[in-house]
Amino acid sequence: MVVDLKLSFSSKVSLIVVIVVILSIHLYASIEAMIESQRIIQGIIDEKRKVNELIAFSLESAEYQSLTWYKKYIIMKAAEPEDVVYCRLVKPSGEILLSSIEEERGMYILDPAIHANETLVKSDVFNGEKIIVIVSPTYHGYTVWLGFSVAQINAVFIQTYMQAAVMTFMAALVLAPTSYFIVSRYLRPVKELTDLCKEVGRGNFDVQASVKSEDEIGLLGNTFNNMINDLKRLREEIRRSERLSAIGQLAAMVSHDLRNPLTAIANAVYYLKTKINLSENERVGKMLTIIEEEVKHADKIITDLLDFSRVRKPEFKEVDLTSLVKASLDNVKIPDNIEVKIELDQIPPIEADTEDLRRVFINIIQNAVQAMPKGGKLTISAKKLGEYIELKFSDTGIGIPKENLEKLFTPLFTTKAKGVGLGLCICKRIIDAHHGNIEVESEVGKGTTFTIKLPINQNYIKEENQN
């Protein structure tokens, strides 16, 4: 059976934290245990060394007083403590003269320590057990050997080590939940982001990460939010362009088919107007004028739709902007309450598509006129700015609210009852195709200025782009 152990990110991080901390505690505790037991061992050895030197001294005294029985007594007494394995008096030849273990007497020790002229400590094995031996010199080159077990010392070491292990275990018990709590608290924003990503994956773009900190997590949240906003915008753009391309194709077809009946209606109205005595039939005359105007309006919509759906490259020719602006003004019905001021400097002709630019100027002038229902002033100015001509169309109309400014050049945006919302969109497309730029500034109640920048020479732009 395979167990799928899927740990959450916070569990993994807290697990790593716990393991690292526990290992550190354990290492620290083990080192402490080792140092402690080393200290204890040293203490025991020092104590035994003193004892052995005392035995050596006592044996020496007994020798000088010829108290053989006292020597035996000392040896037996020295071996009394539980941890002492043996106590021996060894001749310089290595023969064991006296020992707390009776059977050892007369045996020989083959060890250089028999010649020790000062106390030394060595480890040895006795009956399979590891022991420590203190060898101290006594009278006439004799040595006293005190062997003692290290089992007690090992016990101390194991005890200290166990204490360390218990400490580590306790630390783990406290640390695991604490670290999980802290880590999951700290990583909560990451979890939130993961959930939000899943949500976005399901197609819901209306999500925002809550950014509470200014650290990397906060930055991540901010980046996520920006990314979502970009995605939302892109999705909107894609939807819109899909819709528009469908509308464009349909519009092109329908507009083409509508043109003929509209022309027929316009011709019929014209014919009727010539045949009817309009001074006698005033009402009929009014109706015919309404039909005429509505046919014109329908025709404008068709022209806009066709312009919008058509993809045509501009035909660049030399264009005199001053006369083109004036000609465009002639194409728009300017009410008497609107004053038009033209401030055109001596500007050179530019390379442009006359018909396209005429569309732009008419659209903008028409918008300006429509923005001044109670009258006002339209100022059209132009000046040369380096390799560009800058044209400004300023009106004193109703102005554009801030929230509408960015939607202005998007297709089908209109605030007018009879508007289609394609005028400025077509303008932007044409200006872009001329490698120019169109911008708008407006203040509600004061007026609007459209600024158009057009290159004088199209080749200059190409060269500039190549560089």
Q: Which is nearer to ligand ATP, 143 or 448 (CB)?
A: 448
How many helices, marked H, and strands, marked E, lie in the chain?
Answer: 11, 12
- x/- track of binding to ligand ATP for residues 293-312 (CB under 6 A): -----------x--------
CA 460 to chain centre: 42
Cα dihedral 130, 132, 138, 143 in deg (nearest 10): 20
Residue given tokens 């088919």 in the structure block: 257
378 touches ligand ATP by CB under 6 A: no
**Going residue by residue from 349 to 378, which x/- string records binding to Mg ion, judged by CB under 5 A?**
------------------x-----------
What's the CA gap between 430 and 362, in Å, rounded? 13
By the rule CB under 6 A, 141 interacts with ligand ATP: no
143 binds Mg ion (CB under 5 A): no
Residues 397-436 that bind Mg ion (CB under 5 A): 423
Both tokens of 363, joined, read 């659209």
| DSSP class per residue in 240-281 | HHHHHHHHHHHHHHHHHHHHHHHHHHHHHHHHHHHHS-TTT-
For ligand ATP, the closer of residues 193 and 425 by Cβ is 425
- Selection from Mg ion, ligand ATP, none that 369 binds (CB < 5 to 8 A by kind) is none
The DSSP secondary structure of 184-252, one letter per residue, reads: HHHTHHHHHHHHHHHHHHTT----------SSHHHHHHHHHHHHHHHHHHHHHHHHHHHHHHHHHHHHH
* 308, 406, 407, 422 from 411: Cα distances, Å: 9, 12, 8, 5
Based on CB atoms, which residue is closest to ligand ATP, 39 or 402? 402
For 150, the token pair is 């290290």
Q: Is residue 367 within the footprint of ligand ATP (CB under 6 A)?
A: yes
Contact map string, positions 421 to 440, toward ligand ATP, x by CB under 6 A: xxxxx---------------
Which is nearer to ligand ATP, 37 or 448 (by Cβ)?
Answer: 448
Residues 315-354: x where in contact with ligand ATP by CB under 6 A, - otherwise, as a string? ----------------------------------------
**Is residue 177 classed as helix, strand or coil in its secondary structure?**
helix
228 or 364: CB nearest ligand ATP = 364
Kindly state the smallest distance separating residue 237's Cβ from ligand ATP, in Å.
Answer: 18
Residue closer to Mg ion (CB basis): 291 or 340: 340
Could you count the other beta carbons within 10 Å of the beta carbon of residue 56?
Answer: 23
Q: What x/- string results for residues 308 through 347 when contact with Mg ion is judged by CB under 5 A?
A: ----------------------------------------
CA distance 77 to 74: 5
Q: Which residues bind ligand ATP (CB under 6 A)?
A: 304, 363, 367-368, 371, 395, 397-398, 400, 408, 413-416, 419-425, 448
